[in-house]
Structure 1
Amino acid sequence: MDEMTPLKPNDMSGGDRGLPDKHPIDIDRDCDVAWIKEFRSSVNKQRGRRPGKKPCTIFKIQDSICLRNEDAYRPLLISIGPYYHKRLPTSNNYVITLENQKWLCLRHLLFRNRIRGNATELLEKCLIAMKKLGDEIRSCYSHELDNLTDDHSLAQVMLLDGCFILQLILLFGEKTPANKKDDKEDEVGEAREMLSPLHTEEEEFQLPPLGMLWTWNILRFDLLKLENQIPFFVLTTLFDLFIAPSDERPNLVDLVFKLFSDIHPSDPKSQDSLELLEATKVHHLLHLFHSTLVPSKINSPLSIKRAIKAPKWIPNATELRQAGVKFVKKENARNFLDISYNNGTMEIPELSLHDHTDTLFRNMIAFEQCYPGVENQVSLYAIFMDCIIDTPNDAHLLHLKGILSNRLSTDEAAAELFNKLSYQIYYVLQGEYLHEFCDAVNSFHKKKRNRWRAKLMRDYFSNPWAIISLITAVVFLLLTLEQSSFNVLSYFHQT
C-alpha cells in the first residue's frame, strides 16, 4: 500500500502498523464503553438555552455580594416574578395579605368598565396574551425558571404580578374615575360562565396594608430590587388591554415615575431623560428608575464600550480640605450624579441618606454590574463617595456643607454605608465621567503651595479673633522694625 493512501476501516487489522483491531483508541471494551456512553448522554442533555427574542435583563445576583446585605436584594413583603414566587416566608402576615391583594387588583382592573360580559372576555384575552409572551418572558431571565416550567403557570404569575403593579401605578398616579356603567350589563343570552360583578364597597379600591407608611415604603423598594422584576413589556401589554385608548390616556412611563418620584436619592431638576425614554426600550421597573438618573444611549443591548485608563482615585474630604479644596453644594443639579470641579472648588449635589438608600444603591449597582448595556455611573459614583467619605469626620464635613442630608442615626452610619457599598464592584470608565475630574483634583492636591495657603487660611483667617490676632502681630512687628530702624539710623548719625 502506498504511504499516502488512507486506511479503510476494514484495513485496520493491526499487522506491522501496530493499530488496534476494529477501533483506533485503545480502551477496555468491557468497562469503558458503558462509561463513555453514559458520559456522552450527559453531554447531549446539556444543550443550553435557545437564544431568546428579548435580551436577558433580570439576573440573580452573585452570592458573595449578597452576603454583605441579603435584605437589600431579597424582597421583604411582595414577590414579583418567578425567582421568589411562593418562596417568601408565609409566617409574615403581610406577605399573605399582599399575595391575596394580587387577585383583588386583577379583579378591580377587569371591572374598570363595569360590564360583566366584557370582564369575562377581557380575562381570557389577558391570559392568552401572557401565554403567547411565554418564550420572550423566559428569555429575559438569566436562570431557568424551574418553579414555573409550563406556560400556563408562568402566564398566571405574570398576569397577577403585572396587575398588582399596574393597579399601584394607577392608584398612585391616576385619579381618573371609572367608566360609567353600561345599561346592557344584565343583558341575557350569555351562555358561558361570567365573572360576578364587584360589590359597591369595592368601587373605591385601596390596599389595606398600605395604611402603614413603613409598609408602603418597603413595598416600593421591593419593586425596585433586581431579582424581583418582571419584563416591562408585560406591563405595557396589560396596560393596553385594561386602559382604553383615548386622548386623555396617561403615559405609562410617566405614571411609573410618579410612583417612585419621592424616593429618589436627590430631587431631579430635569426629566429630559423621561421624555426621551420609550416604553418599548424599558426592561423593567428598576431599569426605568435607573434611566431617570443615567439616560440610556445604547444601540445594541449587549454592547460593551471600550474602557479608558482608570484614574487615580482622590483622597478623602478631610485631606482634600487641608489641601485647600472647597466643598460646595451644587444648586440646580440634574441629579446627584452631576458633580463638577473647577480650580479648587468641588461642587456636589445634595444626597439624601435614609434607611433604604443602601437597598436602592445596591440594586442599581447590581443591574449595572450584570447588564453591560447600561452606563455604570452609579457604580462610579459609589466608588467616588467611598473615596471622599473615609471616616465619620468626612461625612460630618459634607453634612455641614449641605451635601449630605443624613437621616441615618450617626455620621458613623453614613461612612459605613459608602465604605461597604462599593465592595466587589467592577467598573469600566466610559467617556469622561469622573475621569478628568479625578485628574484635576489630584493635580491640585499635589501642589504644596495650595496646602500652605490652606493652612494659612485655616489657622489665621478661620475666625475674626484669629484675624485680629494676626493683624495685631503684624502691626507689632512693623512697629518693632520701625523702632529698630530709628535706633540704627540714630547710631550712624551720631558717629
Structure 2
Amino acid sequence: MMMVDSAFIICYIMFYSDRHFSLRMNPMEKKTAWMVKVEQDLFLEDNQLPFFVINKLYGIAFGRAYTDISFKDLTCNFISQTYIPGREAARIVGREKVSDASHIKHLVDFLRICCLPPERNLGNSIVVDQNQEIVITQQRMCCLPPKHKNQNPDDLDHSEDSDQFPPSAKELKAAGIKFKATDGKNLLDIKYENGVLQIPTLTIQDTTESILRSLIFFEQCHHFSDSYFTDYVFFLDALIDTPEDVQILVQHGIIKHWLGSDDEVATMVNRMTRYITIYTPNFYYSQISRKLNKHAGTRWNKWRAILKRDYFNHPWSVVSVIYLVLLLILTVLQVYTGFRGLG
C-alpha cells in the first residue's frame, strides 16, 4: 500500500508542477474538483509517508529520464503552484534550503524547512527546556537557527507573558502603528521598523487551517524549542481578537481570504491555538512584541494618533489649522501694534 501511495504522490506532483513530463496517464483525470482536497491530504500529518521512500522510488523510476531535476526540486516546484502557506518560500529559496537538508521526514517537514528563517549559526545552540535546565542542542538538518542568537539562557527575559505577545491590530492602529503587507520570500519574516509592522501576505482558504495545524502538530512533537510556525500562529492569534482586527489586516493586504466573512477568519485563527503548548521565553517574535507593546503603551503615541486621525485626516484640515494659526498670529500682532500706538 505504501508503494501505491508513493507512486500516486510522485505522479500527482509531476503532473501539477510547471514542468512537462511525458506520462501516460493523469491520476486526477476527470476529478479536477478534488484537486484542492488532494493537496490538503498530501500535507496532513496523519497521512505522511517517509520522504526517503518517495525520493528513492522517484530516482528508480525517473532518475535516468529526468537527470536535470531532483524530486526535492520537483516538490518545491509543485508547492509554489498551490495556495499552501509557504508557497513563496518554496518558489524562491526552497531549493537552496532543502538541497542542504538531510533526513527529511516527510512532506510536512519538507514544507517547514522551506519556510525556516535564514541560516544564522552553524554551531551548537543553547536552549532552555521546560525545567529551566540548560540543554546543548546539536546542529540539526538545514542548520536550524536559534531563536535567540548569541544569547545565554540565563539572560533570557522571563518577564510577564503579556509582553511576549503583541496587542490586537485595533489597539496597534489606535496607537498609530502602520501596517504593511510584504511579498517576502518567507511567510515567517515579520518585521517592525520605524512604527511600521511588516507582515508577509497570508492567503486563507478552506484548507489553510488543516495545513497549519499539521505544521503545529509536527513542531509540538519534534521541534518544541524551535517551533517557528507555532509561534507564527500565536502571533496572529494575538493580533486578531475580533472581526474588526481581521478587517484592518485585510485592508492592508496582510490577509487575503476566501472564507465567508472576517468573523470566520477570526474564529479560525483563535481556534488553532487552543490546547497548544508554547514556551514563551523562547517565543520567536518576543522582541517585536515588546517593541509593539512599548509603542502602544506610550500615551504620546496614542494622543498623536488621535490627533492625526481626528483632526489631520484630510489635507484641507491641515490647511484650515495653518490658516487659523496665521490668523491668530496676525491678530496678536495687530493688538500689540495698537497698544504701542496708544503709548
* Residue of structure 1 equivalent to 2:167: 315
Q: 1:247 to 1:421 in 2, by over 3 A?
A: closer
Q: What are the ranges of 5 or more consecutive residues in structure 2 without an aligned counterpart?
A: 123-137, 148-152
Q: In structure 1, what residue type is equivalent to 2:26?
A: Q
Q: In structure 2, what residue type is equivalent to 1:424?
A: Y
d(CA) in 1 for partners of 2:21, 2:205: 33
* Residue of structure 1 equivalent to 2:245: 394
d(CA) in 1 for partners of 2:249, 2:220: 28
> Which moves more between the two structures, 169-178 or 414-423?
169-178
1:384 to 226, 232, 235: 235
Q: What are the ranges of 5 or more consecutive residues in structure 1 without an aligned counterpart?
A: 1-156, 179-203
Check if 1:161 corresponds to 2:5. Answer: yes
Check if 1:272 corresponds to 2:90. Answer: no
Check if 1:359 corresponds to 2:199. Answer: no
Check if 1:250 corresponds to 2:108. Answer: no
Question: Which SS does the other structure have where 2:292 is aligned?
Answer: helix
What's the TM-score once normalised by structure 1's chain length?
0.56
Q: 1:241, CA displacement in angstroms?
A: 2.7
Question: Which SS does the other structure have where 1:277 is aligned?
Answer: helix
Contact 1:271 1:292 in 2 (8 A): no
Matching of residues 87-236 of structure 1 within 5 Å: 157-173=1-17, 174-177=19-22, 204-208=24-28, 210-236=29-55
Contact 1:294 1:375 in 2 (8 A): no
Q: 1:255 to 1:446 in 2, by over 3 A?
A: same
Q: 1:171 to 1:266 in 2, by over 3 A?
A: closer
Matching of residues 20-99 of structure 1 within 5 Å: none
2:58 to 239, 249, 266: 239
d(CA) in 1 for partners of 2:105, 2:224: 11
* Residue of structure 2 equivalent to 1:456: 307
d(CA) in 2 for partners of 1:432, 1:392: 25
Q: 1:480 to 1:211 in 2, by over 3 A?
A: farther
Q: 1:441 to 1:474 in 2, by over 3 A?
A: same
d(CA) in 2 for partners of 1:423, 1:431: 19
Q: 1:214, CA displacement in angstroms?
A: 3.3
Q: Pick the structure with more helix per residue.
A: 2
Contact 1:352 1:405 in 2 (8 A): yes
Question: Which SS does the other structure have where 1:327 is aligned?
Answer: strand
Q: 1:207 to 1:460 in 2, by over 3 A?
A: same
- CA offset digits 1:87-117 (Å, max 9, x no partner): xxxxxxxxxxxxxxxxxxxxxxxxxxxxxxx
Check if 1:471 corresponds to 2:322. Answer: yes
Question: Which SS does the other structure have where 1:211 is aligned?
Answer: coil
Q: 1:407, CA displacement in angstroms?
A: 2.4
Q: 1:283 to 1:267 in 2, by over 3 A?
A: closer
Q: Pick the structure with more strand per residue.
A: 2
Contact 1:369 1:376 in 2 (8 A): yes
d(CA) in 1 for partners of 2:328, 2:30: 72
Rg larger in structure? 1
Q: 1:249 to 1:342 in 2, by over 3 A?
A: closer
> Which moves more between the two structures, 221-230 or 210-219?
210-219
Matching of residues 261-340 of structure 1 within 5 Å: 261=80, 262-265=82-85, 268=88, 271-278=92-99, 280-294=102-116, 299=139, 308=156, 309=158, 311-331=163-183, 333-340=184-191
Question: Which SS does the other structure have where 2:7 is aligned?
Answer: helix
Q: In structure 1, what residue type is equivalent to 2:6?
A: G
- CA offset digits 1:440-472 (Å, max 9, x no partner): 222222222212221221122111232233234
Check if 1:341 corresponds to 2:181. Answer: no
* Residue of structure 2 equivalent to 1:186: none
Question: Which SS does the other structure have where 1:281 is aligned?
Answer: coil
Q: In structure 2, what residue type is equivalent to 1:299?
A: Q
* Residue of structure 2 equivalent to 1:415: 266
